[in-house]
Amino acid sequence: MTQNLGYLGPEGSYAEQAAILYDKDADKVPYPSIPGVVKAVEKFEVTKGLVPIENSIEGSVTYTLDLLIHDSKLLINDEIVLPIHHNLLCSKGTHKKDIKTVYSHPQAFAQCRKYLENQLPEVELIASLSTSAAVKGLAEDKNAAAIGNLRAAEIYDAEVIDSEIEDNANNVTRFVALSETDSEATGNDKTSICFTFNDDSPGLLYKVMGFVSKEGINLAKVESRPNKLQLGRYFFLLDLEGHRTDKKLASTLAAIKGEVSQLKILGSYPQRS
């Protein structure tokens, strides 16, 4: 059955590229923000929602993490990794010497910092809600450029002045598919969790990590986010190899639950990164 797949739009965004790569046959529905994608899944407007969660250069997408921790009961059902290639785009007839402003998402600016410093040191950088929105607006300003992908250039009839301008050739973004349920075990899975402590005493996090180590479970990722209630208190996020129903991982999660004040399983899903 064809699924409806929400993504961070508009058309021409990297999220749309990820959606096409994830399921080319799905009915793809763009939303203007990450919370918009999440709400669409919660209201059953779409079957799944695809949102960015991590970039290899700039790190985690904290907006997505905070939504999963604090504001949504959706689970991670799957993931996909998309290579990111940025391009300098202009409306037809515009030359590099004409450019006075460049529009793009702040993440794109950060990932093309060296190029911008070397090639366009005097131009004004103006943040947009998305790279595709930046490209869409080029027709209104003949002295502007945008950083975006080739699909956005095709959709909005823009010309490529310079291609693959990202500072690091290994630039990739990990997207997660959010759903009402996570995935069944496949034999090659990952489980994402978050937890926090009421008390602040030495060794608490070390003890939790000890449960993971004792069972020989590989820790794919660890990071922290403020709990938004008290300075110096955090939620810790772990990506653990294995499915939450695996015997060793289930035992580890039970042990962790006994030591923390709050444990939330964000989902078990096929490991593709």
Residue with tokens 């496949």, as numbered in its chain:
186
Q: What is residue 227's predicted lDDT score, i.e. its pLDDT?
A: 87
Distance CA 13, CA 181 (A): 26
8-state DSSP, 98: G
Q: What is residue 116's predicted lDDT score, i.e. its pLDDT?
A: 97
Angle between helices 204-214 and 247-257 (to 10 degrees): 160
Distance CA 87, CA 41 (A): 31
19, 45 contact by CB (below 8 A): no
65, 42 contact by CB (below 8 A): no
The pLDDT tens digits along the chain (273 residues) read 558 999 988 888 899 999 999 999 999 999 988 999 999 999 999 999 999 999 888 889 999 999 999 999 999 999 999 999 999 999 988 889 999 999 998 889 999 999 999 999 999 999 988 888 899 889 778 899 999 999 999 999 999 999 999 999 889 999 999 999 999 999 999 999 999 998 777 788 899 999 999 999 999 999 999 988 888 889 999 999 999 999 999 999 999 999 999 999 999 999 987
| Domains and their CATH numbers in the chain | 4-83+171-179 (3.40.190.10), 87-162 (3.40.190.10), 189-270 (3.30.70.260)
The number of beta carbons lying within 10 Å of the beta carbon of residue 192 is: 25
Q: What is residue 99's predicted lDDT score, i.e. its pLDDT?
A: 95
Instruction: Give whole-number Cα distances, 132 to 10, 46, 256, in Å.
Output: 6, 22, 42
Q: What is residue 67's predicted lDDT score, i.e. its pLDDT?
A: 94
Q: What is residue 3's predicted lDDT score, i.e. its pLDDT?
A: 83
pTM of the model: 0.87
Distance CA 54, CA 32 (A): 19
